[in-house]
């Protein structure tokens, strides 16, 4: 029996991008794929791209990015490594390609980009080997570069979350806006109206699922049909660190998922057994449907959030929204931590402070 194996579009795209990088980076990314998800590996390559682009920008290497030798990384002075960290703090990037709006990286983004480079250097020093079974590199300058200290008072973090989430009372309002009201914002533009009519059930199901489970963006777009059990309202996912988990979801998401799946075959012209759950229409007359990407999911959420009047809402903020609503209803940090699959339960404590009306009221009563 022959097996018709077809690579996922994301994997094909990743392999194509790796051709622009040195071989040792491709080896590192393939190694990374063994311990994490495809989406995470793609994110690591994206963050490494900033580092290699910086090397060209500053003249540290004037050839093609794919020709950078690992010996150049091994001999990089501490001063230059520190200059890269400073570069990340000062550089502006294009936040919106349509308006050319620029912004600076947040400290969390800087740390993420530094972590990717530090992880690459660690791989080259402690995992990768030469043909003689010697470490590929013997010096790790990035081990001397510290991440930015992000110690912030938990109340400040909670206040920041509270200003950028949907409250539980807004969940249905937001979903109904997508389902019924958004189309009226398109002013009868045929192309946009047709696009919305085709994807409305998908978009509702996407957002409803996050608001009813707290799934991460890469977990949502990575879902396959075989991962969903409508019998017991659970979804099988590979979370951070490639850890398998069974995540419960609510009946509202169940209804919206089933509604989407009932039209998915006809609207996206796929076989009923085609595994990727959330699909993107192919571009052009011969475009084939494919798995929705993380970037596309983010664009979908941001589009509706802006029209809804909550432009700060992102996919991750929807996860925060779910967690806040869960804590308000159940007041059980241990169960919430398990639902969100936090490695450290202390991380979940932030949601105990997001809705702080009761604590404020108690403080006012001290001298009342």
* CATH code: domain of residue 170: 1.10.443.10
141 is a domain residue? yes
Identify the domain containing residue 32 by its residue range. Answer: 10-151
* Same domain for 78 and 26: yes
The reported pLDDT for the residue numbered 365 is: 44
Candidate list 33, 240, 255, 341, residue with the active-site label: 240
How far apart are the C-alpha atoms of 195 and 273, rounded to whole Å? 24
Q: Which residue in the list 267, 320, 351, 353 is annotated as catalytic?
A: 351
Cα 94 to chain centroid, rounded? 19
264 is catalytic: no
313 burial level (CB within 10 Å; 0-12, 13-18, 19+): buried
The answer to whether 342 is a known catalytic residue is: yes
Q: Which of 151, 180, 213 is the last residue of a domain?
A: 151
Catalytic residue among 316, 338, 341, 352: 316
Task: Say yes or no: 198 and 319 in one domain.
Answer: yes
- Does residue 4 fall inside a structural domain? no
Per-residue model confidence (pLDDT) at position 257: 98
* Of 202, 216, 320, 327, catalytic: 216
Same domain for 245 and 357?
Answer: yes
Sheet of 244-248: strand order equals 228-229, 234-238, 244-248
User: Is 202 a known active-site residue?
Assistant: no
The answer to whether residue 1 sits within a structural domain is: no
| Whether residue 87 is found in the same domain as residue 23 | yes
147/159 same-domain check = no
At residue 282, the pLDDT reads 65
| Sign of CA pseudo-dihedral 235, 336, 206, 251 | positive
Query: Same domain for 194 and 327?
Result: yes
Q: Where are the alpha helices (DSSP H) in the chain?
A: 9-18, 23-33, 38-57, 70-74, 78-90, 107-126, 154-162, 171-176, 190-211, 217-221, 251-268, 294-308, 315-330, 333-340, 345-348, 351-354, 357-365
Supply the pTM of this predicted model.
0.65
In a domain, 122, yes or no: yes
pLDDT score of 302: 95
Do 62 and 88 belong to one domain? yes
- Whether 37 is in a domain gets the answer yes
How far apart are alpha carbons 236 and 219 in whole angstroms? Answer: 9
Q: Which of 32, 319, 327, 353 is catalytic?
A: 319
Assess contact for 338 and 245: CB atoms under 8 A.
no
Are residues 212 and 252 in contact, defined by beta-carbon separation less than 8 angstroms?
yes
- Token digits of residue 311: 């432009």
Q: Are 213 and 326 in contact (CB under 8 A)?
A: no
Q: Provide the CATH number for the domain around residue 108.
A: 1.10.150.130
- What is the structure's pLDDT at 83? 96
When divided into structural domains, the chain yields a total of 2
Q: Is residue 316 annotated as part of the catalytic site, yes or no?
A: yes
Which of 116, 132, 151 delimits the end of a domain? 151
Same domain, 65 and 82: yes
- Both 111 and 253 in a single domain? no
Q: Is residue 367 part of a domain?
A: no
Assess if residue 304 is contained within a domain: yes
Same-domain pairing of 128 and 159: no
Q: What is the pLDDT of residue 3?
A: 52
- Is 319 designated active site? yes
pLDDT tens string, the chain, 368 residues long: the values are 455 566 777 788 889 999 999 999 999 999 988 877 777 888 899 999 999 999 999 999 988 999 999 999 999 999 999 999 999 999 888 777 777 788 889 888 999 999 999 999 999 999 999 988 999 999 999 999 999 887 666 777 777 788 889 999 999 999 999 999 999 999 999 999 999 999 999 999 999 999 999 999 999 999 999 999 999 999 999 877 678 889 999 999 999 999 999 999 999 999 999 999 999 976 545 568 899 999 999 999 999 999 999 999 999 999 999 999 998 888 888 888 889 988 777 778 888 777 765 444 444 444 44
Same domain, 248 and 320: yes
Active site residue 327: no
**Same domain for 279 and 334:** yes
Q: Over the range 250-267, which residues count as b (16 or more CB within 10 Å of their CB) and which as e?
A: eeebbebbebbbeebeeb
pLDDT of residue 357: 57
In the block, tokens 């490639």 appear at 242
């Amino acid at each position: 029996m022959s097996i018709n194996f077809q690579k996922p579009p994301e994997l094909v795209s990743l392999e194509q991008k790796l051709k622009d990088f040195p071989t040792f980076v491709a080896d590192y990314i393939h190694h990374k794929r063994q311990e994490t998800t495809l989406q995470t590996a793609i994110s690591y390559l994206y963050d490494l791209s900033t580092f290699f682009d910086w090397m060209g920008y500053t003249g540290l290497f004037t050839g093609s990015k794919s020709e950078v030798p690992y010996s150049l990384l091994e001999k990089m002075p501490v001063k230059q490594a520190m200059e890269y960290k400073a570069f990340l703090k000062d550089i502006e990037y294009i936040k919106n390609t349509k308006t050319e709006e620029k912004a600076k990286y947040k400290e969390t983004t800087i740390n993420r980009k530094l972590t990717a480079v530090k992880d690459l250097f660690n791989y080259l020093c402690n995992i990768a080997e030469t043909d003689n079974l010697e470490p590929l590199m013997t010096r790790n300058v990035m081990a001397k570069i510290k991440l930015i200290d992000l110690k912030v008072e938990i109340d400040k973090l909670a206040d920041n979350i509270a200003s950028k989430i949907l409250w539980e009372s807004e969940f249905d309002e937001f979903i109904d806006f997508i389902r019924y009201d958004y189309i009226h914002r398109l002013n009868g533009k045929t192309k946009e109206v047709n696009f919305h009519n085709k994807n409305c059930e998908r978009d509702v199901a996407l957002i409803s699922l996050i608001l009813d489970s707290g799934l991460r963006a890469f977990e949502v777009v990575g879902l396959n049909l075989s991962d969903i059990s409508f019998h017991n309202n659970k979804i099988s996912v590979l979370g951070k660190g490639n850890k398998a988990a069974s995540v419960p979801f609510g009946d509202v998401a169940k209804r919206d998922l089933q509604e989407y799946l009932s039209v998915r075959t006809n609207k996206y012209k796929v076989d009923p057994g085609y595994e990727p759950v959330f699909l993107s229409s192919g571009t052009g007359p011969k475009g084939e449907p494919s798995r929705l990407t993380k970037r596309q999911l983010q664009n979908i959420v941001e589009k509706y959030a802006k029209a809804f009047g909550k432009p700060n809402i992102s996919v991750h903020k929807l996860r925060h929204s779910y967690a806040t609503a869960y804590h308000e209803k159940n007041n059980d940090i241990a169960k919430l931590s398990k639902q969100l699959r936090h490695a450290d339960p202390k991380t979940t404590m932030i949601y105990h402070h997001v809705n702080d009306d009761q604590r404020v009221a108690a403080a006012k009563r001290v001298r009342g």
